[in-house]
Structures are given as C-alpha cells and as structure tokens.
C-alpha cells in the first residue's frame, strides 16, 4: 500500500494582509502529517498563537519573518520545510476537504509531476469574472501555463532541481517556475478539483484594467520563455538526428 505523501504548505503573507485567518479553517482538512509555514515580511501577529490553537494547528504551524517579496518568502519557506512535497498556497485561497483529498490522490498517481488546481473566483456574481475563470482554464489546460494562485504543488526534490523561484524576476516567479518545468519535460497535472481565490483586486481596481494588465504581463514574460523552449526542443531534435561518431 502506497504511503500518503507528506505536505509542507507554504503560505506567503504580505505585511498587513489578514486573509490567512480565513484560510486556517481549510487547513484543518489536511492530513495530520502536514505542516503549515506562514512566511511574511512582518512579525508574527499577536493573535496567531491563539487562532492556531483554536483550530488545533499549533503543533504544526510556524510563522517566519523574512524579507519582502513573494519569491523570496516561498523559497525561504521551502528551505524550512521538512515534508516530502511542497504546496505553495496564496493566503487568500480557499480549499475544500474534497480538493485536498484530490491533491493527495494526484500526488500518489503522479509523484514526479507539477500539480495544480482549477481556479474559481470567490465572487463570480457578474459574468465578467466567469470569463476570467474560463480564461484561466484555457491558459492552464490548453496552453499549459498554470499560475501560483492555482496552488502549485511538487516534490521538494523537484522544486530544488528546477532551481526554486527566481528572486530576481520583477514579477511572475510562479509563471517562470512552470516554464522551467516545461523545459525539463515535467508533467503538468491538474488535480481536477477547484481552488478558490479572492476577486478583490478586480473589484477594487476594475475588471478591465486588471484583466488587460495581467494579460499583457503574461504575454510579455511568456514569449521569450516560449522561444527558449522552442530553441531547446529544436536543438534536442537535431542532436537526435546527428550521426553517431561510431557510424
């Protein structure tokens, strides 16, 4: 019987963001072997100890203070992790017990893959947010580019093999990690379950502005990565076609 994969859940928290409080209830559905690493550029909040005690998570929850920057925070969390697999989870995410079980099954079926969830916005009260949900599905399933808000999960060994998150990137460290996986011919595996994320930025800054901004930044970063991938694949093809020295 295959043993269940043990998971370190790494949660980057920006100074002043309290979304992590809502996430605690979802974390109780993870197996007892899991650990939860909150990594922030702020000190441990006064209520942290009380809240994790309330949800009976105190034995496996830790708060770390480090430099600002999501890539740095996630790399720092990965360095502290003691489990075999890493799940990078945004603080404003929502995961059901079913979703967690689907992740575990996906890890057991494809231990060497990079796993992700289907994204659903928590507030889809207007049609435009549903368009974004469909767009994310197309981007991740058809184009093969899931993003960090879809809960990227992979083995600790594979994460370090890929070189961790690029802390020098001005944005899109999750996007770049996925491209590294694709260049390394790593399987991208959807769990088939949903992960929820907040739509607050779209509400605060406007749907059109945020959608166009994200689309432009994605294309700007994806094009050179695609060209690099294409060059490597063509190079590998020519190497395979080249006559051996013994022939």
Provide the domain limits for residue 165: 7-241
Share of the chain above pLDDT 90, in %: 83
171-217 pLDDT per residue, tens: 999 999 999 999 999 999 999 999 999 888 888 888 899 999 999 99
Query: Does residue 162 fall inside a structural domain?
Result: yes
**In CATH, what number is assigned to the domain containing residue 151?**
3.90.550.10
Report the alpha-carbon distance of residue 180 to residue 120 in Å, rounded. Answer: 25
Cβ atoms of 63 and 129 within 8 Å: the answer is no
Mean pLDDT confidence for 81-86:
98
Quick check: 2 pLDDT over 70?
no
Query: Does residue 176 fall inside a structural domain?
Result: yes
Report the alpha-carbon distance of residue 113 to residue 107 in Å, rounded. Answer: 8
Quick check: 137 pLDDT over 60?
yes
Mean pLDDT confidence for 125-143:
89
Average pLDDT along the chain: 93
Quick check: 68 pLDDT over 50?
yes
Query: Does residue 120 fall inside a structural domain?
Result: yes
Query: Does residue 32 fall inside a structural domain?
Result: yes
What's phi and psi for 245, nearest 5 deg? -70, -20
Report the alpha-carbon distance of residue 89 to residue 68 in Å, rounded. Answer: 17
Cβ atoms of 124 and 52 within 8 Å: the answer is no
Report the alpha-carbon distance of residue 164 to residue 180 in Å, rounded. Answer: 10
Mean pLDDT confidence for 90-110:
97
Q: Which SS3 state, helix, strand or coil, does residue 55 take?
A: coil
Report the alpha-carbon distance of residue 24 to residue 83 in Å, rounded. Answer: 19
Share of the chain above pLDDT 70, in %: 95
- Tokens standing for residue 179: 């491209």
Name beta bridge partners: 119: 195
Query: Does residue 169 fall inside a structural domain?
Result: yes
Report the alpha-carbon distance of residue 126 to residue 36 in Å, rounded. Answer: 34
- Tokens standing for residue 191: 């769990």
Mean pLDDT confidence for 215-226:
94
- Cα–Cα nearest to 144, from 120, 179, 104: 179
Q: What is the DSSP letter of 4?
A: P
Query: Does residue 247 fall inside a structural domain?
Result: no
Query: Does residue 1 fall inside a structural domain?
Result: no
Quick check: 125 pLDDT over 70?
no
Cβ atoms of 61 and 36 within 8 Å: the answer is yes
Name the residue with tokens 């496996």: 60
Quick check: 1 pLDDT over 50?
no
CA atoms within 13 A on the CB side of 19: 18
Range in 134-148, 195-209, 213-227 the model is least confident about: 195-209
Quick check: 88 pLDDT over 90?
yes
The number of distinct structural domains making up the chain is 1
- Cα–Cα nearest to 119, from 102, 154, 91, 94: 94
Non-local CB neighbours of 194 within 8 Å, separated by 6+ positions: 96, 99, 117, 118, 119, 120
Quick check: 233 pLDDT over 70?
yes
Query: Does residue 152 fall inside a structural domain?
Result: yes
């Amino acid at each position: 019987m295959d043993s269940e994969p043990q998971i370190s859940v790494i949660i980057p928290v920006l100074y002043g963001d309290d979304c992590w409080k809502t996430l605690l209830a979802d974390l109780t559905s993870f197996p007892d072997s899991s650990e939860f690493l909150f990594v922030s550029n702020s000190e441990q909040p006064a209520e942290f100890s009380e809240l994790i005690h309330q949800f009976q998570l105190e034995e496996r929850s830790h708060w770390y203070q480090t430099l600002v920057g999501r890539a740095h925070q996630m790399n720092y969390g990965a360095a502290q992790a003691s489990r075999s697999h890493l799940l990078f989870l945004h603080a404003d995410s929502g995961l059901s017990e079913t979703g967690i079980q689907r992740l575990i099954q996906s890890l057991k079926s494809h231990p060497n893959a990079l796993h992700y969830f289907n994204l659903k916005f928590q507030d889809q009260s207007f049609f435009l947010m549903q368009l974004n949900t469909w767009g994310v599905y197309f981007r991740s399933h058809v184009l093969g580019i899931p993003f960090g808000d879809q809960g990227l999960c992979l083995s600790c060994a594979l994460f370090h093999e890929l070189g961790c998150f690029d802390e020098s990137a001005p944005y899109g460290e999750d996007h770049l990690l996925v491209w590294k996986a694709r260049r390394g011919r790593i399987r991208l595996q959807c769990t088939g379950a949903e992960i929820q994320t907040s739509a607050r930025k779209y509400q605060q800054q406007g749907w059109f502005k945020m959608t166009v901004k994200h689309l432009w930044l994605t294309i700007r970063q994806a094009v050179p990565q695609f060209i690099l991938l294409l060059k490597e694949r063509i190079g590998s093809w020519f190497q395979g076609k080249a006559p051996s020295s013994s022939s």
